[in-house]
Amino acid sequence: MTRPVLEVVDLVKHFGAVRAVDGVSLAVAPGEVLGLVGESGSGKTTLGRCATRLVAVTSGHVRINGTDIAKLSRRQLRPLRRHFNMVFQDPSSSLNPRMTVADIVSEPLRLHRIGTGASRRSRVNHLLDQVGLPAGVGRRYPHELSGGQRQRVSLARALSAGPALLVADEPTSALDVSVQASVLNLIGRLQSDLGFACLFVTHDLASVEFLAQRVAVMYLGVLVEVAARRELFATPRHPYTQALLSAAPIPDPPAQRTRRRIVLTGDIPSPVDPPAGCRFHTRCPVAVDECRVVVPPLRPVGPAGALVACHLVADDGTGPRLG
Amino acid sequence: MTVLDLSTVEAPAAGTLPATRRRVLRRLLRNPLAVLGAVVVLIAVGAALLANVVAPYPYAQTDFSAALQPPSPEHWFGTDYLGRDMFSWVLYGLRVSVLVAVMSVGLSMALGVPLGLLAGYYGFLDPPVSRLTDTLLAFPFLILAVGLAAILGPSLATATIAIGIGQIPQVVRVTRGETLRLRGMDYVTAAIAGGASDTVVLRRHILPNAMNTLIVQATVAAPAAIIGEAVLSFLGLGVRPPTPSLGIMLASAQPFFRDGPWMAVFPGVAIVALTLALNLFGDGLRDAFDPQESRR
Amino acid sequence: MTLLRVDELTVRFRTEDGPVLAVDAASFDVAAEEVLALVGESGCGKSVTALALTRLLPRNATVAGTVTFDGTTLSALPESALREVRGRDVAYVFQEPMTSLNPVLTVGRQIGEVLRQHQKLHGAAARRRAIELLDLVGIPLPARRIGEYPHQLSGGMRQRVMIAMAVACRPRLLVADEPTTALDVTIQAGILDVLRDLRTEIGMAVLLITHDLGVVADIADRVVVMYAGRTIETAGAPALFARPSHPYTRGLLDAVPNPARHADGGLREIPGRVPVLADSPDACTFADRCGRADETCRRHRPDLSPGPAGHPVRCWHPLPVPEPAVPA
């Protein structure tokens, strides 16, 4: 197996008493899009920020192309940052209003002293073209652009230094559906053209289904299931994954109204004091006594090597079907 | 392929667009009080800077034959007990006021902005900087001025330094608040993710975006500095005669309040008018930068 | 029976950048106990329409057209009479439940406030009713919850409280503006269930403002699609999804990644962006972005008239009805 671009091992991140990420291991292969799905409070955004070391890591390892960046200082990290970058959710706050688009996109190049003034300019024009913006946009300021255009500028900036890993944190959630479609198409196209690995963090199952090759499902700071996209959407094994898939309405009235839905009771428990045993047991319709006591390990099940953290799923991948 | 049409305008829900320079100017011009303030400030500052051209008499020229004259076509603001032309005096006094205001605000910004940036950006520097500004705040302004006057001797420079130091805590507080706010913006995080050093983040991403707030802070500090100078000079802790100062004029008018009230009235009116105008302009500027904030 | 009729509703805003036409002669109606979804992207005028029904718009707005509710012309009522209508007959639920609740009052107090104002209920009676209402919207342990403050509740619970307050006076119409947009999907499912149940239990109609076609598919009886201030297509929900007539509706449906469809080769994009108009042009406002547009579309305003699929559409060249799939 080739060396993963991003390898997270036993990652823990606590904010004071809040156990935002509590022991997560995952890897993203070169050229792969891994969808990281979860609801608010699941820790998915924190995991993305740990992977790019925008926050300090409490314990565990974060390896980018084999280099462990988990414990590096800000100064040590700085030269390595050209290898990984990030796109944010809110296009209205992710671009400096006082800088022109060209300055924004070329900033990583200047910071890493890549190229000369002239080569940076042509690189910026090339990048703007790649993300589908006309060259004249370079002279404009962010407030002159629409939300979708700003998100394209964000992408151009993140990719300007040619990173091996892109972490995209809900890049389409603040956009209108028709704009979402174009940004999702763009990420897909850029990813297959440039071949970077991508950790795609989102709550939107439909966009993961569209973009990701593998999907990791997070709940309350831990992973509950990791599987290839087709397998996960066809045969979700963890009860939470099943509930999540069934709760997302599909835009097709007859299908939506006849499908059986699993309605979960209660809210996500507080990450300050997560439930003992399986963290999902308080909302799980099929939980047994063991679930309340023993933490289920994330282990391979079934023929295709999906990973599931549930006591009730057998080694051959069979388990409870809800709904 | 997406066709992008930049000619269509963005949805302009009122006040949601960021403040561009032209937009700020337009909003400012629509506010009559701010315009009035700006006009008064411009006239006062212009007259003060051009005092040697505008003033009808040399300010120190005495004329005992014309002592304590009420306002007249020859002496618009009347004359004082030495027969000096009050109008010329007020103009030169304003010049000192403006000078002290600019210098002391400059001093407080030069020291307060870096401290505020550091305190807001580096969590570990916040407690010591806060302690420092609290200490300064706890120190009464006049005690500070008396102490400085005792060490340095009363002078224009002493007044400037006392006022400048007295305003540092406020500048630190405002800058720190802005830095904390801006540090949470995604574009700052994006700059760090792109490999920016702290210097780059502070200089390119935080300071330029804090500028509007700092300009408003300066328009609040300037009138306070003008009053501060007048107070210190009135008490003999600031500018010393024969340098003209509105504060000194008020002090020297005290014995003549019955015989020549205009000696106190005109310098007083000058101070009030200039500080009021600066405040009106500052308020207008704040509203123009951030109309949503002020509508609350 | 028609409960709400909106006729040629037009809303203009005066802004710093000149006048903006937000709603352009929108017409639709809501039947009693019906869930009508008003669908469109941001800036299409759907939220402004909802607020304009009972004149909740800011002062820089001017409203024309008529709104009739249960035989009463709301647009002719004075403000004092309209205040009676709001809350009692027409109630609102908004997207962000945190900012709509008063942080310093308990949930019970805030529901009690509504009951006192509109139903003259006090003391123990009000408390009993408040508990009933929380129970109605599916809040567990309602007797304990009424003593809690908004910050002690989760986002989903707060939205349920908002709904409880809205339905406290058994309104005939609930206007819900993106009620689940700020919530997680597993929580959203529960809120949609509450709306569905309330409709049958207290017999109210729901005007649902949303951009989420999944939500529409889940709960709406009929759909009105808005674009650039105009209502462009109206149909029963199944018909709209199966046989959209307006190219914009089609585009909107194709832009959503749909796990059920497994479309390969990317999502359909709608080129260009929504225009912001100062005045109503004598043209189709979608013409600049439409692949089917010709000179007629650019020169003449289309009317909302029955299209090839049988439901009203505002288009000169509506899409043909697709061949019914032959069952294998």
* Among C43, C60, C272, beta carbon nearest to B11: C43
**CA-to-CA distance for A58 and A16, rounded, in angstroms?**
10
**CA nearest B9 in C: which residue?**
C276
Domain boundary among C121, C152, C170: C170
Q: Nearest-CA neighbor of C278 among C48, C64, C20? A: C20
Q: What is the CATH number of domain B25-50+77-289?
A: 1.10.3720.10
User: Do the Cβ atoms of A241 and A321 come closer than 8 Å?
Assistant: no
C212/C274 same-domain check:
yes
User: Do the Cβ atoms of B224 and B279 come closer than 8 Å?
Assistant: no
**CA-to-CA distance for A226 and C280, rounded, in angstroms?**
52
Burial class (CB in 10 A: 0-12, 13-18, 19+), A29: middle
In DSSP notation, C254-305 reads HHS--TTT---S------S-----SS--SS-TTGGG-TT--HHHHHSPPP-E
Question: 3-state DSSP call for residue C10?
Answer: strand
**CA-to-CA distance for B265 and B260, rounded, in angstroms?**
9
Whether C84 is in a domain gets the answer: yes
pLDDT tens string B179-223: 999 999 999 999 999 999 999 999 999 999 999 899 999 988 998
Q: Where are the beta strands (DSSP E) in chain A?
A: 6-15, 18-28, 33-37, 59-64, 67-68, 84-87, 165-169, 197-202, 214-219, 222-228, 299-301, 306-308
List the domain boundaries for chain B.
25-50+77-289
pLDDT tens string A232-279: 999 999 999 999 999 888 888 888 888 888 888 777 888 888 999 999
Burial class (CB in 10 A: 0-12, 13-18, 19+), B285: buried
Count of structural domains within chain C = 2
Mark yes or no for CB contact C275/B8 under 8 Å: yes
**CA-to-CA distance for B130 and A319, rounded, in angstroms?**
59
C223/C156 same-domain check:
no
- Reported as half-sphere exposure (CB side, CA atoms, 13 A), residue B3 has a value of 11
C204/C59 same-domain check:
yes
Check if A150 contacts B (Cβ < 8 Å).
Answer: no
Check if B16 contacts A (Cβ < 8 Å).
Answer: no
Domain boundary among C124, C139, C170: C170
**CA-to-CA distance for C229 and C24, rounded, in angstroms?**
5
C194/C62 same-domain check:
yes
Distance (Å) from the alpha carbon of A149 to chain C's nearest alpha carbon: 11
**DSSP assigned state of C178:** S
The continuous run of DSSP H or E covering B171 comes out as helix B156-183
Whether C8 is in a domain gets the answer: yes
Whether C180 is in a domain gets the answer: yes
What is the CB neighbour count within 10 angstroms for residue B5? 13
Domain boundary among C124, C151, C170: C170
Neighboring chain A residues of C214 at a CB cutoff of 8 Å: 248-251, 256
User: Do the Cβ atoms of C152 and A230 come closer than 8 Å?
Assistant: no
User: Do the Cβ atoms of C93 and C179 come closer than 8 Å?
Assistant: yes
Whether C15 is in a domain gets the answer: yes
pLDDT tens string B75-134: 777 777 777 888 888 888 888 888 899 999 999 999 999 999 999 999 899 999 999 998
**CA nearest B210 in A: which residue?**
A98
pLDDT of residue B8: 31
What is the CB neighbour count within 10 angstroms for residue B150? 11
pLDDT of residue B295: 41
pLDDT band at C234 (very low <50, low <70, confident <90, very high): very high
pLDDT less than 50: residues of chain A = none
Check if A259 contacts B (Cβ < 8 Å).
Answer: no
Distance (Å) from the alpha carbon of A28 to chain B's nearest alpha carbon: 19
Check if B13 contacts C (Cβ < 8 Å).
Answer: yes
In DSSP notation, C208-268 reads EEES-HHHHHHH-SEEEEEETTEEEEEEEHHHHHHS--SHHHHHHHHHS--TTT---S---
pLDDT of residue B260: 74
Burial class (CB in 10 A: 0-12, 13-18, 19+), C80: exposed
Report the DSSP pairing between strands A67-68 and A84-87: unpaired
Check if B23 contacts C (Cβ < 8 Å).
Answer: yes
C74/C104 same-domain check:
no
Whether C328 is in a domain gets the answer: no
Domain that holds residue C237: 2-89+171-313
Whether C206 is in a domain gets the answer: yes
Whether C323 is in a domain gets the answer: no
User: Do the Cβ atoms of B16 and C17 come closer than 8 Å?
Assistant: no
C12/C106 same-domain check:
no
Mark yes or no for CB contact C42/B11 under 8 Å: yes
Give chain A's length. 323
The continuous run of DSSP H or E covering B168 comes out as helix B156-183
C181/C43 same-domain check:
yes
C284/C267 same-domain check:
yes
**CA nearest B15 in C: which residue?**
C16
Q: Is the pLDDT of residue B168 over 70?
A: yes
Question: How many CB pairs (< 8 A) connect B and C?
Answer: 37
Neighboring chain B residues of A95 at a CB cutoff of 8 Å: 187, 190
A216 token code pair: 């990791």
Neighboring chain A residues of C95 at a CB cutoff of 8 Å: none
CATH number at residue C250: 3.40.50.300
Calculate what percentage of chain B has a pLDDT beyond 90: 32
**CA-to-CA distance for B278 and B285, rounded, in angstroms?**
10
